[in-house]
Amino acid sequence: MSASPPSPAAALPSVEEAVALGLTAAEYALVVDKLGRAPNQVELAMFSLLWSEHCSYKHSRKLLRTLPTEGPRVVMGPGENAGAVDVGDGLAVAFKVESHNHPSAVEPFQGAATGVGGILRDIFAIGARPIAVLDSLRFGEPSSPRSRFLLDGAVSGIGHYGNSIGVPTVGGEVYFEAPYEQNCLVNAMALGLAESSRMIRSAAAGVGNVLVLFGASTGRDGIGGASVLASAEFGEADEDKRPTVQVGDPFEEKKLLECSLELLERGLLVSLQDLGAAGLTSSASEMASKGEVGVEIDVSKVPLREADMEPFEVMVSESQERMLCVVEPARVGEVLALCHKWDVHGTAIGTVTDTGHVVVRDGDRVVGDMPVAALVDDCPLYDLAPAKPPQPLYAAPVRTLEPGASPRETLLALLSSPNVASRLPLFQQYDWLVQSRTVRRPAQADAAVLRLPNGRAVATSIDGNGRRVACDPYNGTVANVLECASNLACVGAEPLGTTNNLNFGNPEKPHIAWQLTEAVRGLGDACRALDAPIVGGNVSLYNEAADGPIYPTPVVGMVGEVPDPERAGRLGFSETDPTRPDVVGFAGPFRPHLPGSELAKLRGEPLPDGLPAADVAAVRAAQEAIRDAVRAGELSSAHDVAEGGFLVAVAECCLAGDVGAVLDVGASDDTDRLLFGEAPGGFVVSGPEDAVRRLAERVELDVFGRVGGDALEVTVGGERIDVPLAELREAHRALAPLFP
């Protein structure tokens, strides 16, 4: 059925205008075919947004269908505002990660702040109270003034929003690499807690039910953000895109959060959806699509904060802190009264219909009429044309460590390198203790741990080394998943579910399509092997500028269960009884390699063409052994080996516990690879000797030293490395000047 033409007739947009809004000429022709006529201004704006890469996932949806999404603990999977897993006693933890990359590259403070606001709304849109935020950030090298500007703005924006709304920022990661110079990445992950029986979905239902918009008023901020800003490569005129960045107000969101949760607690809503990318256009259309109904909206009833807004501006505005709900007519009064109580705008703006159309009115005048299926379901999905690039995509990094450096010099250089140095100066910008749930906070453990009301705890981590994936999209992504799960194992957590944010360049280019295809294959295989299904996520493409694409960066977030929060693991060595010091062991199927490592970067080596495959089953077995030992209270510390390799991991354990260690790691025909090579599956553990020996019954393990003293003393092949803790600490604080 073709949509009836809105009246009165107005001048129709041209194909050139459609292309300027992000549609291709072929897509515009398809829109005309779906409508049975040319679209008007309102309709074209709505199609350009819902058919954008950011909203439709038209280059990635077919790949995403290959991911594992079901599991015994999955309560809510992909397709809703956030996913959720069962944590017992009728409770569920909701979680999701999303990107705000392009807005943050244009205006880093508001881009990052509204990224946090948006992911929090995804959490309470399903009826969960937000309990934590994590962030995953990528910038160019910190020697770059632009990168320092973006870093400062993004960190300030994350802290401003999270600290103001009262949600702790409990963890995250940041990497500095030249390919992110023009396209920084700002990914935010949030967790929420809900009673499973009170969670709500977004599908509109009930012909005759009322659409109520509540929250902040609507302005012109964010118009075109999803189609023009987030679904195209960056050009030279990025500054001209500043008006498309949304402006956030965390205090308005706090009122919106409490209002939404009370509405749900009272059972007043049929369905609920936040207004994110594409604003009213996406929220109303997607609710209608999921419910297989139609909706009618009157834009003249939408509360505005700017005069003379055109109907299309109202429909596509991305103003923040707004929600759309479906309410039975008899309960509209109660809903509006509750909105008044929380001092948020609450306005009935439309109804649910049986037409299968989205109809937009401006008072008595119809200004848009489109089939829901055409808007949401019939966007063309593209088949990628992946091809491995015949030559390297990325230039070799700049050398900062000369060949022939001693192991001692190498250790200090790695500890002070931007990708290894302590993140504590960054985390100190955030409130990680608000809500009083935080059991393990940044720098205390490999994963954050949050106490639950049922006496258990939930652990969470986020990881995504882009350089590894640039070397080998499949094996690099597998390694990222294993790293995230290893972080959970070190605090005693079993993975329950996974979220992801796929950050890539232009998928229309064969080499980027190859990176994306291989990374998704690796993500799916690793999550299946770990029984950690994907419950939701986000895709951010076109992260590319004139000087080339970013490193392919699939960011992985996981949530796991900790039975006893008092036994959650720590990464720092401890010296409780100097007469019986803990022993230090190295556990796991660790097969280190130097190509693609942090040391290779410091040496200015080009990225290798491929990485060794991990034995995923063996790594999982090691994770389970470490997890069980932590849960049994047998280990004093557990820390997985990541960037910088084994000796960096040991130094981090010393610094976290403020105590030294004396080690003898034996001889090696390749000392650098032994001490500084990287691979999944390695763990530095400490504890009473009998406990560590018991762990050796389940996993490869060598005991090679003891905790104690005020220095890290390592003997390798007869050569001794002796570094006082004070010197280690000074090197590790290399990022502190960025956060005075």
E-strand spans in 602-710?
637-640, 661-666, 683-687, 701-707
* Alpha carbons 290 and 443: distance in angstroms, whole number: 42
Whether residue 722 contacts residue 672, with contact meaning beta carbons closer than 8 Å, is answered with no
Q: How far is CA 629 from the centre of its chain?
A: 29
* Alpha carbons 645 and 661: distance in angstroms, whole number: 17
Question: Phi, psi at residue 80, to the nearest 5°?
Answer: -100, 180
* Alpha carbons 559 and 536: distance in angstroms, whole number: 12
Which residue pairs, CB below 8 angstroms and at least 24 apart, start in 384-389?
Answer: 384/59, 384/63, 384/507, 384/513, 384/516, 384/517, 385/510, 385/513, 386/510, 386/513, 386/514, 386/516, 386/517, 386/518, 387/510, 387/511, 387/513, 387/514, 388/511, 388/514, 389/510, 389/511, 389/514
* Alpha carbons 346 and 369: distance in angstroms, whole number: 25
Q: Which residues pair with 83 in a beta bridge?
A: 95
User: Helix axis angle, 646-657 relative to 407-415, nearest 10°?
Assistant: 60
Runs of H (alpha helix) within 546-635: 598-602, 616-631
* Alpha carbons 236 and 227: distance in angstroms, whole number: 18
* Alpha carbons 484 and 222: distance in angstroms, whole number: 33
How many other C-beta atoms are found inside a 10 Å radius of the C-beta of residue 130?
27
Alpha-carbon distance values, 102 to 52, 105, 165, 508, 562 (Å): 14, 5, 24, 18, 36
| Token pair of 208 as six digits | 């005759």
Whether residue 486 contacts residue 556, with contact meaning beta carbons closer than 8 Å, is answered with no
List the 357-362 sheet strands across, edge first.
Answer: 271-274, 322-327, 210-215, 345-353, 294-298, 357-362, 365-371
| Token pair of 585 as six digits | 């062991």
Runs of H (alpha helix) within 65-100: none
The strand pair at 169-176 and 129-139 is best described as parallel
Whether residue 503 contacts residue 187, with contact meaning beta carbons closer than 8 Å, is answered with yes
* Alpha carbons 66 and 157: distance in angstroms, whole number: 35
Per the residue annotation, which of 54, 102, 160, 511 is the catalytic one?
54
Whether residue 67 contacts residue 538, with contact meaning beta carbons closer than 8 Å, is answered with no
- What is the separation, in whole angstroms, between the first and last Cα of the chain? 63
Per the residue annotation, which of 100, 160, 357, 511 is the catalytic one?
100
* Alpha carbons 209 and 354: distance in angstroms, whole number: 11
* Alpha carbons 377 and 369: distance in angstroms, whole number: 16
| Residue 54 annotated to the active site | yes
Using only the alpha carbons of the chain, give its radius of gyration.
26
* Alpha carbons 41 and 38: distance in angstroms, whole number: 10
Is the preceding peptide bond at 507 cis, omega within 30 degrees of 0?
no
* Alpha carbons 257 and 161: distance in angstroms, whole number: 13
Residue numbers annotated as active site? 54, 100
